[in-house]
Structure 1
C-alpha cells in the first residue's frame, strides 16, 4: 500500500503494519532495541563461522599454553611471552567471542548492562595486552638475532616475567578505567541517549579517545615494524657471512654459533609473521574507527561487524601459525592429544631433534 500525502488513514494503516512487522529484542519491555533478523540458513552459517573461530581460539591457544607450561624444554623467556600472548587470545575466545556471536547474529544483547561493560573492557584489555606482548617479543627477538650467544644473559625468565606483568597491568588498567569512568562518551550525550535501549551494548567513544586509542595502537606498531626491519636486515647479513665463509677451521669453530643464529632467525621470522597477521586483522578496524569518529559515524552496522570479527579471528590465528612453522609445537600437540603427557616423565620429553634444533 502506497503512502498518500492527503490520506491520513493510509499513513495510519502503513504505520500499524510496520509496527507489527518490526521485531524487538524484548517484546514486552518498553524502549527495547529493534531486532534485525536473518533467515534460517544465513543465521546458521553465521553461527557456524563465529562458533568455529571461538572453538579454535579457545582450544588452539589452550594447546599452546599447555605445551609451553608442561614441557620443561620449552621454559624459555620467548616461549613464556608466547604462552602469555596465547593466554590473552584464549580469554578472548572464552569471555568475549561467545557473547559477541549472539550479539552479532541476533543483533541483541541478552546478558545485562553490567556484563556489557565487563565485556567491552575485557575486549579492550586483551587487545592491548596482545599488542604489548608483541612489542616485548619484537625486542626479545632483536636481541636474540643480533647477539644470540649473549642473549641468554640479557633476557632471563625473571625479566620476561616482569615484561609480561607490565603488559597485563597496563592493558587492564587502561581499558577498565576508560569504560568505567565514562570519559569516552563526553560530548556524545545525545548519541548515548539515542543508542540507549534495552538489549543494546554499544560503547560510544568520542573523537579525543578514539585518537588516543589509535595512537596507542599506531606508535607501538611503527616501533615493531622498525625493529623487525632491523632484525631481517641483520639476519640477511648473517646469512651472507655464513655463505661466504671459506676457512674450514673457522667454519668448524663457528658451527654452533651458526646453528644458534639459524634457530633465532627462524623464531624471529615466525613471530614476525604472527605480528603481520595481527596488523592485517587489527589495522582495518582502527582505521575505520578513526574515520568513523570524524565523519559522524558513517560505517554501516554490517561493515563494523565484519571488521570486529576480523579482530576476533586474530586470536585463533596464532596457534595455526605455530603449528605450521614450529615442529616442536606439532610434536607437543601429538603428545597432548594422545594423552602421553599424563605420564610421570612426560615433562622431560625431548621435543627437539638435532634437525629441529637447527631449523626451528
Structure 2
C-alpha cells in the first residue's frame, strides 16, 4: 500500500552542470525526472516485470483450478481462490504501473488513474490480509475439531467471509481517497508537493496509524490462532502414533487420517501467512516510524520495501506448488489443455490416502 508522502522532485542546485530532465518536457509544473542508468534500469524492469507476470498467471492458475475441478469445491479452497483473485488484481492493476513509476520516477497515466491505482493498491492488499485472517480461523476450527468442522464452516459461511474481505477494504480505500480525507490538515503540504507526473498521495498521521492498526490487529489474530494450531497439532500427532501402534478401531484410524490431513493443510497455509507477514512487516514498520517520528526513508529504500511487499502476491502460487500435489496436477491439466474435455472437472486430483 503506497500510502505515504514521497517527494519525487530532487534538487538540481547541487549539480547545475547536467541538464535537468522533466517527466513532461515543455510543460510548466512538471516533476523533475531522476532516471536510472541503462543497466540498472533494464534489471529493475526485468525483476519487477517478472513479479507482475508471476502474480497474474500464477494466481490465475489457482483460481481456475479451484473453480474448475469439483473435487476442490470446499469452503477453504473458495477462500484460497478469493485470496488468489486479490493477488491477481494486484498483479494486473497495481504492479505494472508501479513498475513504471519506480523505474522512471514519473507517473505517465494521469491524475484520475493515479487515484484509482492508489485505491486498488490499498484495497486489494488489505483484502489479502483479511482473507488470510479468515483462513487462519478456518484452519483453527478444522484442526481443533476436524469431524465437526464441516458442519460449522460451510460454503455459506465461507461466502460471508469472502464478502467481508472484499467489501470492507474497497469501501475503506475508496472513501479515504475519493473524499479527500487522506490529506486532511495537510492541504498546504499537498499543494507544495504537487507537480505533473507524480502519483504518491499525501496521507496524514491519523490515517497512517489506522492503516497500521488494520494490519497489526488481523496479524495478531493470525499469530495467536496458528500458535494454538501447532500446539494442538503436536498433541494430535502423539495420538496418531498411539493409534497406529495400538491398531485401534477403523473409526479411530479414520479420525487420525482426518486430523493428519487438516494439520497438513494448516501447515501449508501457515507458511502462506508467514510469507505475507515477512513481505509486509518491514513496510508497515517503516510507515509507522516515518509517520510518528517524522523520518523520511530514502527513496530507494522505500521502493525496495514497497516491491518486497508487492512480491507477496506472486509467492502464494509458488507455495501451493511446493506443498500441494493437487495444485501441481491441476496446473499440468490446465497447461496441457485437458481441462477443455467434458469430463475434466471430475478428475481425481488427490493421491490415495490424501
Describe the superposition over 1:252-295 as per-residue Cα deviations: whole angstroms up to 9, x where unpaired: 33111111111100000000110001001111111101111123
User: Could you tell me which of 227, 230, 251 is aligned with 2:228?
Assistant: 230
Return the alpha-carbon distance in structure 1 between the equivalents of residues 346 and 263 of structure 2: 26
| CA 297–204 in structure 1, closer or farther in 2 if over 3 Å, else same | farther
User: What TM-score comes out, normalization by structure 2 length?
Assistant: 0.94
Contact 2:89 2:124 in 1 (8 A): yes
Contact 1:195 1:202 in 2 (8 A): no
Aligned residue for 2:172?
174
Aligned residue for 1:220?
218
Aligned residue for 1:112?
110
| CA 209–342 in structure 1, closer or farther in 2 if over 3 Å, else same | same
Return the alpha-carbon distance in structure 1 between the equivalents of residues 231 and 116 of structure 2: 43
| CA 103–113 in structure 1, closer or farther in 2 if over 3 Å, else same | same
Return the alpha-carbon distance in structure 1 between the equivalents of residues 60 and 207 of structure 2: 33
User: Could you tell me which of 306, 323, 326 is aligned with 1:308?
Assistant: 306
| CA 24–233 in structure 1, closer or farther in 2 if over 3 Å, else same | same
SS in 2 for 1:250: coil
Describe the superposition over 1:32-86 as per-residue Cα deviations: whole angstroms up to 9, x where unpaired: 0010111111110000000000000000000000000000000000000000000
- Taking the TM superposition and a 5 Å limit, the aligned residue runs for 1:319-338 are 319-338=317-336
Displacement of 1:343: 0.4
- Of stretches 327-336 and 293-302 in structure 1, the one that deviates more from structure 2 is 293-302
Aligned residue for 1:158?
156
Contact 2:23 2:30 in 1 (8 A): yes
Q: How many residues align?
A: 343
Displacement of 1:195: 1.6
Which has the greater radius of gyration? Answer: 1
- Taking the TM superposition and a 5 Å limit, the aligned residue runs for 1:1-360 are 18=16, 21-245=19-243, 248=246, 250-355=248-353, 357=354
| CA 18–353 in structure 1, closer or farther in 2 if over 3 Å, else same | same
Contact 2:142 2:262 in 1 (8 A): yes
Displacement of 1:197: 0.1
Displacement of 1:241: 1.5
| CA 246–322 in structure 1, closer or farther in 2 if over 3 Å, else same | closer
SS in 1 for 2:302: helix
Contact 1:96 1:119 in 2 (8 A): yes
Displacement of 1:202: 1.0
Displacement of 1:158: 1.2
Return the alpha-carbon distance in structure 1 between the equivalents of residues 244 and 207 of structure 2: 58
SS in 1 for 2:248: helix
Return the alpha-carbon distance in structure 1 between the equivalents of residues 325 and 15 of structure 2: 62
Return the alpha-carbon distance in structure 2 between the equivalents of residues 250 and 243 of structure 1: 11
User: What TM-score comes out, normalization by structure 1 length?
Assistant: 0.92
